[in-house]
Structure 1
Amino acid sequence: MAKGCEHARGCHTGGVPTLASATAGARLWLLVEYAGPWPSHLESFELPENIAELVARALARGIRPQLIRRPGRRTRTRDQGIRVLVGYGIGDRPWLAGGVIAGPDDLDLDALVAGVVPESCILEDEPVFLVCTHAKRNACCARIGLPLARALAEKLPERVWETSHVGGDRYAANLVCLPHGIFYGSMSQAAAIAAANAYRSGEIILDRFRGRAGIPEPLQAVEHFARTHTGECSVGAVTVESSKSDGDVTEAIVRCGDVRFKVVVQPSARQAPCGSVCADKAATYRLVSLDRLSPVRYATPAYA
């Protein structure tokens, strides 16, 4: 049975802090178009054999699998093959590629792991936007996500997909911008359109920004506070050069444009306004200190 909010009191409206909550394990992506019913958990493999095999192969390689479908569409011609998108979200030059395959053996996922576009796919020249609408995982994702996905698709035809669970039900409606893996939560339709337009221009909007997927949560928090302090919105302008942890305190050296900062953060668990199963507790971070350092030299990102 789908689970959802009994009452809101701030939940899903932006009242709950969203920072540092992007899925830390998602650096590589496999999106598989499937218009049939989605199971509550993809790892249960309660899917057609060819789709289940693709999901299993992705999971075995540390690739994040997502089921996708076009907003408002639930049917597909059987002889079209399987529409897939693969995303490499690592470093400052992420990419996205798509194709139609006959079956799992036609998609080289080992190439994706190596950072190479599979032969069956072609590089995409426009970003893709995912809106979680996974009702069997959480009813709020469908209730809030479905109208948002349709509204966003009207503005950006063919670039928007409904998707299965992306992590963080308490932040529904969730929006993911690929290939960078930029996460937003508690999105209204207006906020989603603004965030998508900003991403297409190479920028991030800090309001309801959850973080970048594939980066540890403390470093997502470090980036968030550095951006808040400087007002830096360019997607690639903020880099964590190094970090160290002492207990639950994380200290990092961050580059923002031509300026470096030492940023110290610490987790701060708080009770979310919503008392439902999807938002009983929201873990967030607090800024301990932020100090400007010497001008930037040359360094390698800590999470590249």
Structure 2
Amino acid sequence: MARGCDHPAGCHTGAVPTMASATVGARLWLLIEYPGPWPSHLESLALPGPISELVRRALDRGIRPQLIRRPGRRTRPRDQGLHVLVAYAAGESPWLARGVVAGPDDLDLDALVAGVVPESCILEDEPVFLVCTHAKRNACCARIGLPLARSLAEKLPDRVWETSHVGGDRYAANLVCLPHGIFYGSMSQAAALTAANAYRSGEVILDRYRGRAGIPEPSQAAEHFARVHTGERSVGAVAVESSRSDGDVTEAIVRCGDVRFQVVVEPSAFTPPCGTACAETITTYRLVSLDRLAPVQYATPALT
């Protein structure tokens, strides 16, 4: 039976902090269109043979598989083959590509791991938006996510998909922006449209921002605090260049444009206003210190 929040009015309205909660293990993505029934866990491989094989191959390579379908659609597309999207969300130049393949052997997932577009796919020049509606994982994801996905699809036709579990049921409705892997949580329909339009313009908004997937949670927190401090909203202008941890305390060097900051964060417990489906406490992060670093000075060679 799918779980749900005991007190849905409290947990999905932004009262629970979303910062630094994006899925850490999601730098590479494989999206497979499948409007049929979704199992509660994709790794169970309880899907048609070709899809199960693609999911297995993705998991073996550290690629995050997702099932997707058009909002409100529960019938298979008429044309043959498997409709897939692949996303490389790592680094400063992420990309997204689409393809139709006859079967698992026709999609080169090793190319994706290497950061290369598979030959069976073509690059997309527009982002896509995933809304988790996975009822068998959590009832709230369907209850809140389904109407949000349909509303967003009306505003952004052909760019919105329902998707299987993305991580963080307590943050339903969850929105993922690809190819960067930007996560938002506890989204209303209005907030989702604002976040999607910001991403299409190359920006993030910090309201209900969970972080960027594929990087450790303390680094997500350091990035968040640097953005709050500087007001920088450009997706690519902020990046954690290095980090080190001493116990629970993490010190990160964060680049914001041409300026660097030393950001120190530590975990902080938050008690949610809802029932045990969301856990008794949620780990978020507290800013310990944030200091601007002096520019590196290079010595001028003496003239001889």
Bin the TM-score by the shorter chain: over 0.9
Give the distance between the partners of 2:275 and 2:5, measured in 1 at CA: 8
Give the distance between the partners of 1:113 and 1:3, measured in 2 at CA: 34
**Deviation readout 1:194-243 (Å, 9 max, x if unpaired):** 00000000000000000000000000000000001111000001121221
Query: What letter corresponds to residue 132 of structure 2 in structure 1?
Result: C
Matching residue of 2:302: none
| SS of corresponding position for 1:10 | helix
Give the distance between the partners of 2:297 and 2:222, measured in 1 at CA: 19
CA shift for structure 1 position 295: 3.0
Matching residue of 1:167: 167
Matching residue of 1:274: 274
Superposed, 1:17-36 pairs within 5 Å as: 17-36=17-36
Percent of matched pairs sharing the same residue: 83
TM-score after normalising by structure 1: 0.96
Matching residue of 2:154: 154
TM-score after normalising by structure 2: 0.96
Matching residue of 2:222: 222
Matching residue of 1:140: 140
* Residue segments in structure 2 that go unaligned for 5+ positions in a row: 299-304
Matching residue of 1:121: 121
Per the alignment, do residues 136 and 125 of structure 1 end up closer, same or farther by CA in structure 2, a change over 3 Å counting? Answer: same
Determine if the alignment matches structure 1 residue 69 to structure 2 residue 69: yes
Give the distance between the partners of 1:129 and 1:296, measured in 2 at CA: 39
Matching residue of 1:263: 263
Structure 1 range deviating more: 5-14 or 130-139: 5-14
Query: What letter corresponds to residue 150 of structure 1 in structure 2?
Result: R
Give the distance between the partners of 1:213 and 1:109, measured in 2 at CA: 19
Matching residue of 1:253: 253
Query: Is the Cα contact below 8 Å between 2:244 and 2:252 reproduced in 1?
Result: yes
Give the distance between the partners of 1:201 and 1:283, measured in 2 at CA: 31
CA shift for structure 1 position 9: 4.9
* Residue segments in structure 1 that go unaligned for 5+ positions in a row: 299-304
Determine if the alignment matches structure 1 residue 192 to structure 2 residue 192: yes
Matching residue of 1:51: 51
Give the distance between the partners of 2:297 and 2:28, measured in 1 at CA: 30
Structure 1 range deviating more: 78-87 or 223-232: 78-87
Larger radius of gyration: 2
Give the distance between the partners of 2:91 and 2:77, measured in 1 at CA: 37
Matching residue of 2:180: 180
CA shift for structure 1 position 293: 1.3
Query: Is the Cα contact below 8 Å between 1:144 and 1:172 reproduced in 2?
Result: yes
Aligned residues: 298
CA shift for structure 1 position 132: 0.1
Matching residue of 1:301: none
Query: Is the Cα contact below 8 Å between 1:255 and 1:296 reproduced in 2?
Result: no
| SS of corresponding position for 1:59 | helix
Give the distance between the partners of 2:160 and 2:70, measured in 1 at CA: 7
CA RMSD in angstroms, aligned pairs only: 1.3
Query: What letter corresponds to residue 213 of structure 2 in structure 1?
Result: A
